[in-house]
Chains A and B, each alone.
Chain A
């Protein structure tokens, strides 16, 4: 049973290693999709998607850096 659970964890880990990164990516895509559905200019949808992904990466790495620098208790 523990082997199966370990396999399931490893398979999930293919897509989601840091849950907050995965959620943030989905949020950016969702915002872009909502804008597209609301007939916003297509280029704005593209910009939100592109810049949103870059921003997600920066935010995640800066947070990871802060976390790594925090002293452990």
Chain B
């Protein structure tokens, strides 16, 4: 599973990244969490509000920081 955190390095993006890492750890899933900071790549997902969470190429959350619990639900 590939989890991408889209955002250009703002505080909320870092928070989302940490939540995603934590959610993966708690769920015990095999998943790679990466930050995507390149604007071209971010835009290719059609996202206009960051931070956003992309799981296996699908935009799941945008414009807010989901809690660890919510991310755990999403990657189940």
Q: Do A and B share a complex?
A: no
Q: Which A residues are closer than 8 A to B by beta carbons?
A: none
Chain B contacts to A: CB under 8 angstroms = none
